[in-house]
Amino acid sequence: MIQGKRIRLRAPTRTDIPQFVAWLNDSEVIAGLMVSLPMSLEDEEAWFTGMLNRPLAEHPLVIEVQRGEEWTAVGNCGFNMIDWRARAAEVGIFIGEKSLWNQGYGSEAMTLLLKHGFNTLNLNRIALDVYETNPRAIRAYEKVGFVHEGRKRQAMYKDGSYIDILIMSVLRSEWKEDQE
């Protein structure tokens, strides 16, 4: 477990798959994701099996919040495309529980993920891509220390329009653990 103030990050299990499918079939949840086709339970089970064959550092982490005595999954996050020679990785995140949007859970999860990336995995650069049409995510990434690096013009076709993808990153030397 990676423990935060209000959340924790844990490894996913097969029992999470139905919840992931529900989130990934919600048009509002996937508006900022690179997902554009309906997802079946079988699709997600195949993804899960494939994920288990990837390096452990590239397994996603389930974001949980405590409700009473219970911990409830509300999204996921994780690293991919880890380049151990350059000490660099890409990161992705989403909060699937829409009732918890705009409450800082994504920022807290990203802060925990950055701490894990820099202090545990010894990464030097953590980057992400974000749609220009997702100002809520852009603000959250800026809040935890990401800076704008560039723009891929009309790099995504989503919902009938071409949109730009913004490239953001944070370096170990500019990251402040208490940035939250």
- Taking the C-alpha atoms of residue 26 and residue 150, their distance in angstroms, rounded to an integer, is 29
Count CA within 13 A, CB hemisphere, residue 143: 16
- Taking the C-alpha atoms of residue 61 and residue 47, their distance in angstroms, rounded to an integer, is 14
Q: Stretch 46-65: mean pLDDT, rounded?
A: 95
Q: Which CATH number fits domain 2-127: 3.40.630.30, 3.30.565.10, 3.90.1150.10, 1.10.10.10?
A: 3.40.630.30
Choose the weakest-confidence range: 27-36, 115-124, 160-169.
27-36
Q: Is a pLDDT exceeding 60 seen at residue 179?
A: no
- For residues 148-168, one letter each, b for 16 or more C-beta atoms within 10 angstroms of the residue's C-beta and e for the rest, the string is eeeeeeeebebeeeebebbbb
Q: Which residues on adjacent β-strands are paired with residue 90?
A: 80, 127
Per-residue confidence (pLDDT) for residue 37, from 0 to 100: 86
- Per-residue model confidence as pLDDT tens digits over 93-107: 999 999 999 999 999
Please give the model's pTM, rounded to 2 decimal places.
0.92
Q: Are 90 and 128 in contact (CB under 8 A)?
A: yes
- Per-residue model confidence as pLDDT tens digits over 70-101: 999 999 999 999 999 999 999 999 999 999 99
First to last CA, the chain: 20
